[in-house]
Chain A
Amino acid sequence: MDYYLQILLIAGIFITLTLSLNLINGFCGQFSLGHAGFWGVGAYASAVYSVYYALPLPAAINMMIAIIVGFIAAALSGILIGVPCLRLKGDYLAIATLGFGEILRIIITNTEKIGGPRGFINIPHWANIIWVYAIAAVAVVFMINLKRSSFGRAIISIREDEIASENMGVNLFKYKLFSFTIGAGIAGIAGALFAHTQQFLHPSNFNFMWSVIILVMVILGGQGSVTGSVVGAIVLTIVPELLRFAGGNIAAWRMTIFPVLLILLMLARPQGIFGPHELGGSKLRSKA
């Protein structure tokens, strides 16, 4: 039972995480390969609060504070990285964010106070599956409403055509930075949830591999599709686990099946399962 609960929990955290990257990558079209870094900053910052500076308050209120700490820390690192990097485009932005993500991880690995390379232990168990899915639900509503507002339209227009978007009066830098910062912040919230459900953090949780996995979840669902992100996160959390049960060779080879599926998906449907659209069709799509 615990095992299933753990999978559900991780799936829920990945829903929030995937949505947060979808804002940057799917909505705004900015290709980021360092998202796990923001997730890590949020996780570690919130854990620093709960381990070293926790106030004598009920766990639920402390968890709220931890979430806010995770959000602010990750959003600030988003600004720090976004201001210099968002001038770059496409491949170059991807490379720069990859570099920053790795730098964040190396800093974490070299900070003894948060466990360094051994990992950060003794984090209180403040969050549970209800927290995880409540936050995921808030994230879904936030993203859908954003998409249907003028603000969201401006962000999406940047993905479509930067020059035309600017020509429509959209301040590119402002909206890119907004997406990047809020996306990072929401990833930080997912980090706080991760820290306070797992009670243990290790730098290897937040390396480049994980940035790729989150990205794959976004792509699988469809860039710009909120419901797609939810589906992508759930499918890619559960499928590898199911393969584990398949036994024998398949279980041993499941980690190679995952990238093969990714490649086949790209070959067959590069825009992801839903493309930019939503499950439920036009009702959710463009009506304001």
Chain B
Amino acid sequence: MSSILKLQNVTMKFGGLTAVNDVSFDILAHDLVAIIGPNGAGKTTLFNTITGIYSPTSGSVIFNQKDLKNIKSSDVTELGIARTFQNIRLFKDLTVIDNIKLAKHTRIQYGFWDGIFRTKKFHLEEKKIEDECLLLLKLFKLDDKKDFLAKNLAYGQQRKLEMARALATGPKLLLLDEPAAGMNPTETRELSELIHLIRDQFNMAIILIEHDMKLVMEIAEKIFVLDYGNLIASGNPKEIQNNKRVIEAYLGAEIEASL
């Protein structure tokens, strides 16, 4: 299978702090990968580097054979990378369906003046988008909430809406930043089914950052472990569970936390 995302010696420094240090890996087109590591290991920074919010101090990010160097964050989305955020970033004062419609923004076929004069083309395209959005909302069981303001949804639903919004951009690679954070066990179980479903139905690669080890071990086919910005291990769940360095990193973190 072909590689969709390739990181080559990516390093990200902020002043004297090295948040990501010489990380290289390959993601295949249909992979379901988890990135784990203690807090502050550089996981979210890695996401920010992939999505163009930061440009790496050195090394390169190659998506679909294209080097993402100097490509704006908004264009990265158009190329086919979508993400969710650790601290949910919905358009809180817009309705649920408008949140999704916005994600279709780059795929809209009508022009500015079509919108102003409300031409036939505008109406047809908007109808099409509305239907697509509703379909997506149905998948996430949010269709009955479509006219709610996003801020009025329950926390778990907000996380789901953010995922739906990311999907609506039509990505080939989806990055999920702690999708299960703040969810109860039932919701987490649903989430794991949903992630599988998305990957198969939309045929894409998924990378997730997650602290819920049960979820990670259950759904990830491959796991990358970051510690202090370094990629210290990679492999399937079983290999990772028995990796000495990983155990050290995590035990170390636990000892620190208990002090």
Check: A151 CB closer than 8 A to any chain B CB: yes
Q: Which residue of A lies closest to B118 (CB)?
A: A145
Check: B94 CB closer than 8 A to any chain A CB: yes
Check: A280 CB closer than 8 A to any chain B CB: no
Q: If A150-B110, A156-B94 touch, does A172 touch B126 (CB 8 Å cutoff)? A: no
Bits for B80-100, please: 1 = Cβ < 8 Å to A, else 0: 001101000111111101100
Q: How far is the CA of A149 from the CA of B93 in the complex (A)?
A: 17
Bits for A138-173, please: 1 = Cβ < 8 Å to B, else 0: 000010011011111110110011011111111110
B147 touches A282 (CB 8 A): yes
Check: B224 CB closer than 8 A to any chain A CB: no
Q: If A169-B105, A286-B97 touch, does A164 touch B91 (CB 8 Å cutoff)? A: yes
Check: B108 CB closer than 8 A to any chain A CB: yes
Check: A288 CB closer than 8 A to any chain B CB: yes
- Min Cβ gap B73→A in Å is 5
B74 touches A142 (CB 8 A): no
Q: If A164-B91, A288-B126 touch, does A153 touch B116 (CB 8 Å cutoff)? A: no
Contacts of B93 in A (CB 8 A): 160, 276
On chain A, the number of residues with a Cβ less than 8 Å from chain B's Cβ atoms is 29
Q: If A150-B108, A151-B112, A154-B105 touch, does A167 touch B83 (CB 8 Å cutoff)? A: yes
Check: B165 CB closer than 8 A to any chain A CB: yes
Contacts of B103 in A (CB 8 A): 168-169
Q: How far is the CA of A164 from the CA of B76 in the complex (A)?
A: 13
Interface of A is mostly: helix
Q: If A149-B122, A171-B74 touch, does A157 touch B94 (CB 8 Å cutoff)? A: yes
Contacts of A169 in B (CB 8 A): 74-75, 77-78, 103, 105-106, 169
Contacts of A276 in B (CB 8 A): 93
B95 touches A153 (CB 8 A): no
Contacts of B83 in A (CB 8 A): 167
Q: Which residue of B lies closest to A171 (CB)?
A: B74
Contact of B115 (CB < 8 Å), options: A149, A165, A166, A172 = A149
A286 touches B169 (CB 8 A): no
A161 touches B77 (CB 8 A): no
Bits for A170-201, please: 1 = Cβ < 8 Å to B, else 0: 11100000000000000000000000000000
B90 touches A286 (CB 8 A): no
Contacts of A145 in B (CB 8 A): 115-118
A157 touches B102 (CB 8 A): yes
Contacts of B197 in A (CB 8 A): none
Contacts of A151 in B (CB 8 A): 112, 115
Q: How far is the CA of A168 from the CA of B104 in the complex (A)?
A: 8
Q: Which residue of A lies closest to B109 (CB)?
A: A150
B108 touches A157 (CB 8 A): no
Q: How far is the CA of A246 from the CA of B92 in the complex (A)?
A: 43
A161 touches B91 (CB 8 A): yes
Check: B72 CB closer than 8 A to any chain A CB: yes
B118 touches A153 (CB 8 A): no
B53 touches A163 (CB 8 A): yes
Contacts of A286 in B (CB 8 A): 94-95, 97-98, 147
- Min Cβ gap B206→A in Å is 16
Contacts of B115 in A (CB 8 A): 145-146, 148-152
Q: List 17 A-B contacts (CB under 8 A).
A: A145-B115, A145-B118, A146-B116, A153-B102, A157-B102, A160-B94, A161-B89, A161-B90, A164-B85, A167-B82, A167-B85, A168-B165, A169-B75, A169-B77, A170-B74, A171-B74, A285-B95
Q: Name B residues whose Cβ lies closer than 8 Å to a Cβ of A.
A: 51, 53, 72-75, 77-78, 82-83, 85, 89-95, 97-98, 101-106, 108, 110, 112, 114-118, 122, 126, 129-130, 147, 165, 169
Q: Name A residues whose Cβ lies closer than 8 Å to a Cβ of B.
A: 142, 145-146, 148-154, 156-157, 160-161, 163-172, 276, 282, 285-286, 288
Name the 7 nearest CB pairs between A and B, nearest first: A149-B115, A169-B77, A160-B91, A169-B106, A164-B89, A288-B126, A150-B108
